[in-house]
């Protein structure tokens, strides 16, 4: 924690400037900015479950596309969207 006390006869601007310099030199600001977008790493089990879900959805979409039950449309940006919802059974 950075502590700055006003010296006798010191203006508020000088006090603020001294505080800013101390914050800059201490590296507190860098540490806070670095951790701003830090994301917690996912566990192996969660990664495995997500991969299994992706493959199941992909397989089910391929099957529905083959039998002609998957209606795909494109939006105005060219992205494909399927009208049929994919429902997976939860374990």
C-alpha to C-alpha distances, 23 to 26, 35, 57, nearest whole angstrom: 5, 17, 51
Can you give the pLDDT at residue 87? 75
Neighbours of 65 (CB within 10 A): 14
Q: What percent of the chain has pLDDT over 90?
A: 47
Can you give the pLDDT at residue 73? 80
Yes or no: say if 85 and 78 are a contact pair by the CB < 8 Å rule: no
The structure's pTM equals: 0.51
d(CA 46, CA 52): 10
Place of tokens 């969207």: 81
Residue 16 tokens, joined: 């603020």
Q: Nearest CA to 89 among 46, 63, 51, 60?
A: 60
The helix (H) or strand (E) run that includes residue 49 is helix 44-67
Can you give the pLDDT at residue 50? 96
Positions in the chain short of pLDDT 70: 90-91
């Amino acid at each position: 924690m950075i502590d700055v006390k006003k010296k006798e006869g010191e203006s508020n601007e000088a006090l603020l400037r001294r505080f800013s310099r101390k914050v800059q030199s201490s590296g507190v600001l860098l540490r806070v900015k670095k951790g701003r977008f830090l994301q917690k790493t996912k566990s192996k089990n969660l990664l495995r479950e997500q991969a299994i879900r992706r493959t199941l959805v992909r397989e089910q979409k391929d099957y529905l596309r083959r039998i002609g039950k998957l209606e795909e449309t494109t939006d105005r940006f060219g992205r494909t969207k399927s009208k049929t919802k994919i429902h997976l059974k939860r374990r």
